[in-house]
Amino acid sequence: MCRGGGRTVRFARAVGVVLAILWIGAPSVAVNKPHRGDCRQMTRQIARYERDAKWADQRGNALWESASKDRAKQLAIRRADRCPQYKKPNPLAQAADLIAAAAKAAAPYFIPGL
């Protein structure tokens, strides 16, 4: 029997144990974000109160409009505290801003008279 064979078997077993641990532990790593349901519910409520504020404005009911806007604002503040994923800036908006700035800077070179 050669000496290297034992090392290979031990290495294969170690790799197998590590892969088994990762396979068993994967579901616990892939858990939903905390307060996910609350965040979705608050988002729906905010949309509802903003819709109600528009309806109140159309009907000329200032008290209803004010109360709806205040409630939507309270929910937005609570959602921002509880749901950090809603605070993240939109990467597409950042890219669009960068492209717009580059186009504005390049326009005088490509369009005569600017």
pLDDT tens digits for 95-107? 888 888 888 888 8
Question: Band of the pLDDT at 22, cuts 50, 70, 90?
Answer: low
Q: CB within 8 A of 38, min separation 6: which ones?
A: 82, 83
3-state secondary structure of 60: coil
Q: What's the predicted TM-score (pTM) here?
A: 0.50
3-state secondary structure of 9: helix
Q: Tokens at residue 71, please?
A: 């409630």
3-state secondary structure of 113: coil
31 DSSP assignment:
P
Q: What are the structural domain ranges in the chain? A: 36-110
The confidence score (pLDDT) of residue 70 equals 97
Question: Band of the pLDDT at 114, cuts 50, 70, 90?
Answer: low
Could you report the per-residue pLDDT of 37-89, keeping only the tens digit for each?
A: 889 999 999 999 999 999 999 999 999 999 999 999 999 999 989 988 877 66
Question: Band of the pLDDT at 30, cuts 50, 70, 90?
Answer: low
